[in-house]
């Protein structure tokens, strides 16, 4: 897959993140469940996590991350062809959170859909986005991972509530002729392990009811030990597989950005791959496991910290509910020279997003007027006469 037959490559040209301002430390958690900082740090490496404020939602955080990624890429929302939002905590069952973000951005030419693959969602979404670019179907794809896990957490269950956090990250993929960008991806699943990590209630099998609420079925349920075993098994396997797929020797991999679930899982992967731990990017101490948002947030921070440089080969590897797992080998590109926007350009950018809000409200209003004035066409009558009611 590394060499493109049609000369099209999917380059990462923009990245952005949003994390809520509210920090919840291990000490804060110890005040609400029977846990302590020492247990959480030694078992997971997590020291604190971010928790969504009353105004933060999956869509609002995804929007903020996407806006930053587009601005960094110098791409205007109307140029985007496709928006994929990976999330396990969508705003609604439907419409898709991707459509809400499309509307807020004013990405009027983009298709938009959500993708559900647990914590592996962002990796799946990036694989799909890169393939649509390489196939020639699209030129610019916005890939977002956004989660509000705090809203599906059982704050009485110490085995899960210490692990997760909220946030969002996004990347912009753009077609480029030069070899690089997302060189290879693999996506795998094993549904036989679906029960190891799930939210059993609220879906069509077990719709919300007083009973599902009383039983707490709308919260995350997890068999931590089994998920741990699964994760340690697949991390090194998928990193090796994707490197082989891209034709890159593991020794030539400069950085691994793993899903930020547990430091012990990352350390086990480093040992299995015989790679120094320094080659693994870790920021889970600050955010905990933000599911689909963990890898894009880590990408942003790896770039900020100078850990991901032009020409570097980077392995991204994720795992999660499903069970699912996926990996990508990315050749990091030359960043565009930073263009400090003029005041006029900044004002224009601001207007674009204000304009998106106005456009959305106008479209709703217009739809209402159109419906009131024009009504809806009558169904074709059984005798074939269009638009007339059948007489009894």
Active site residues: 119, 259, 289
Subset of residues 266 to 305 that bind ligand COA, contact rule: CB under 6 A: 289
C-alpha angle with apex 265: 64 to 169, nearest 5 degrees? 5
225 interacts with ligand COA by CB under 6 A: yes
Closest distance to ligand COA from the beta carbon of 275 (Å): 20
Closest distance to ligand COA from the beta carbon of 370 (Å): 45
Nearer to ligand COA by Cβ, of 285 and 360: the residue is 285
Nearer to ligand COA by Cβ, of 95 and 224: the residue is 224
Residues linked to residue 325 through DSSP beta bridges, in sequence order: 188, 319
Nearer to ligand COA by Cβ, of 229 and 359: the residue is 229
119 interacts with ligand COA by CB under 6 A: yes
| CB-based contact 15:65 (threshold 8 Å) | no
Closest distance to ligand COA from the beta carbon of 316 (Å): 15
Nearer to ligand COA by Cβ, of 162 and 356: the residue is 162
| CB-based contact 133:4 (threshold 8 Å) | no
Tokens of 242: 């994707």
The single residue among 159, 244, 245, 272 that binds ligand COA, judged by CB under 6 A, is 159
Closest distance to ligand COA from the beta carbon of 324 (Å): 9
The single residue among 4, 26, 87, 262 that binds ligand COA, judged by CB under 6 A, is 262
Query: Which pairs with CB-CB distance under 8 Å and at least 24 residues apart come from 242-245?
Result: 242/184, 242/185, 242/186, 242/315, 242/317, 242/327, 242/328, 242/329, 243/184, 243/315, 243/329, 245/1, 245/2, 245/184, 245/185, 245/186, 245/329
Residue nearest to ligand COA (CB): 224
Tracing tokens 């419906």 back to the chain, one arrives at 371
Q: Is the dihedral of CA 25, 30, 36, 42 positive or negative?
A: negative
Closest distance to ligand COA from the beta carbon of 29 (Å): 8
320 interacts with ligand COA by CB under 6 A: yes
Subset of residues 41 to 80 that bind ligand COA, contact rule: CB under 6 A: 43-44
Question: Which range in 53-61, 157-165, 179-187, 378-386 contacts ligand COA by CB under 6 A?
Answer: 157-165
Residue 164 φ then ψ, to 5°? -110, 165
Cβ-Cβ contacts under 8 Å for 263 (sequence gap 6 or more): 44, 45, 46, 282, 284, 285
Where does the chain have alpha helices with state H? 26-30, 37-44, 58-73, 97-105, 121-135, 158-161, 210-214, 224-246, 263-273, 284-287, 294-304, 343-374
Nearer to ligand COA by Cβ, of 117 and 141: the residue is 117
227 interacts with ligand COA by CB under 6 A: yes
162 interacts with ligand COA by CB under 6 A: yes
- Name the residues that contact ligand COA, by CB under 6 A: 35, 39-40, 43-44, 119, 158-159, 162-163, 197, 222, 224-225, 227-228, 261-262, 289, 320
């Amino acid at each position: 897959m590394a060499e493109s037959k049609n000369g099209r490559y999917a380059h990462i040209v923009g990245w952005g993140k949003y994390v809520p301002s509210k920090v919840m430390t291990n000490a804060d958690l110890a005040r609400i469940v029977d846990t302590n900082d020492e247990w959480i740090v030694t078992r997971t490496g997590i020291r604190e996590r971010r928790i969504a404020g009353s105004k933060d939602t999956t869509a609002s955080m995804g929007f903020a991350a996407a806006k930053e990624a587009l601005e960094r890429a110098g791409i205007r929302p109307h140029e985007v062809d496709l928006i994929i939002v990976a999330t396990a905590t969508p705003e609604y069952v439907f419409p898709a959170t991707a459509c809400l973000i499309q509307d807020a951005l004013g990405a009027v030419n983009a298709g938009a859909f959500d993708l559900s693959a647990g914590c592996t969602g962002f990796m799946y979404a990036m694989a799909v986005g890169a393939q649509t670019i390489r196939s020639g179907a699209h030129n610019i794809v916005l890939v977002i991972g956004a989660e509000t896990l705090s809203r599906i957490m059982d704050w009485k269950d110490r085995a899960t509530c210490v692990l997760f956090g909220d946030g969002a990250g996004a990347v912009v993929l753009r077609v480029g002729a030069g070899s690089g960008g997302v060189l290879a991806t693999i996506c795998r699943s094993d549904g036989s392990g679906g029960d190891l990590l799930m939210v059993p209630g609220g879906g069509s099998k077990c719709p919300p009811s007083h009973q599902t609420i009383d039983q707490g079925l709308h919260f995350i349920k997890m068999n931590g030990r089994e998920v741990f075993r699964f994760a340690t098994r697949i991390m090194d396997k998928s990193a090796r597989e994707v490197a082989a797929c891209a034709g890159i020797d593991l020794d030539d991999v400069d950085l691994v950005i793993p899903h930020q679930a547990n430091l012990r899982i990352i350390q086990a992967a480093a040992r299995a791959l015989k790679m120094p731990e320094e080659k693994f990017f870790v920021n889970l101490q600050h955010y905990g496991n933000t599911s689909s948002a963990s890898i894009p947030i880590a990408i942003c921070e790896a770039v900020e910290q100078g850990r991901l440089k032009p020409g570097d080969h980077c392995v991204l590897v994720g795992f999660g509910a499903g069970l699912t797992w996926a990996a990508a080998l990315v050749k990091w590109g030359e960043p565009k020279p930073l263009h400090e926007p003029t005041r006029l350009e900044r004002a224009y950018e601001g207007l674009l997003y204000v304009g998106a809000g106005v456009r959305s409200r106008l479209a709703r209003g217009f739809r209402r007027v159109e419906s009131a004035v024009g009504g809806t066409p009558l169904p074709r009558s059984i005798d074939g006469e269009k638009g007339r009611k059948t007489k009894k």
